[in-house]
Amino acid sequence: MENSFITEKLRKQFSEDILDVDGSSDILTITVASPVSYEVIAYLKENPGLGFSFLTDLCGIHYPDRGLSFGIIYHLHNFYENKRIRIKTFVNADKPAVRTVSDLFSAANWMERETYDFYGIIFEGHPNLKRILNVEYLDYFPMRKEYPLEDPTREDKDNRFFGR
């Protein structure tokens, strides 16, 4: 399956909502507008010509300097054609929410809970969106970039010499 075939089909279906197509990295990467992310993934899964019926991975990412600072990254796989695709969608920090894909893929249930647990991204319509790896009473989302790994009160280590 050619990259151009997939992008053409998606552009035809979603036109303006396909924000970016990047074929330069290892997997075809498509950035879509967050309101249609569910529709794009459902289309990729259910359209007979595409058939991306396996959700390999779902995770979050945080770019505090950007306007749309939270990203959700889906890796889908078509077993028959052995084709992978990466779908990205970005949401803003005020209301980091996107529609759940757990009704399409049962696998997404825990992956979305994990993403919520670490980034605080809300997956609307998720059947059981609560923390999964961290304790339930944790009052922040630890993978966000504003929480540095080292204890900020420490003065004996100079961060310039120890990376981020």
Which residues would be at the binding site for other proteins (CB under 8 A)?
Answer: 25-27, 29, 53-57, 59, 61-62, 73, 75, 79, 82, 84, 86, 105-107, 109-111, 114, 118, 132-135, 142-143, 149-150, 162-164
One-letter amino acid for residue 53 of the chain: S
Question: Tokens in use for 30?
Answer: 């498509």
Identify each DSSP E strand in the chain by its residue range.
18-22, 28-33, 54-62, 70-78, 83-91, 97-99, 122-124
The residue to which tokens 């209301």 are assigned: 95
Considering the complex, state which of residue 13 and residue 107 has its C-beta at the smaller distance from other proteins.
107
Asked whether the CA dihedral 86, 92, 93, 94 is positive or negative, the reply is: negative
Q: How far is the CB of 82 from other proteins (least distance, A)?
A: 5
Nearer to other proteins, 136 or 155 (CB): 136
Task: Please identify, using beta-carbon distances, which residue of 13 and 84 lies nearer to other proteins.
Answer: 84
Q: How far is the CB of 155 from other proteins (least distance, A)?
A: 18
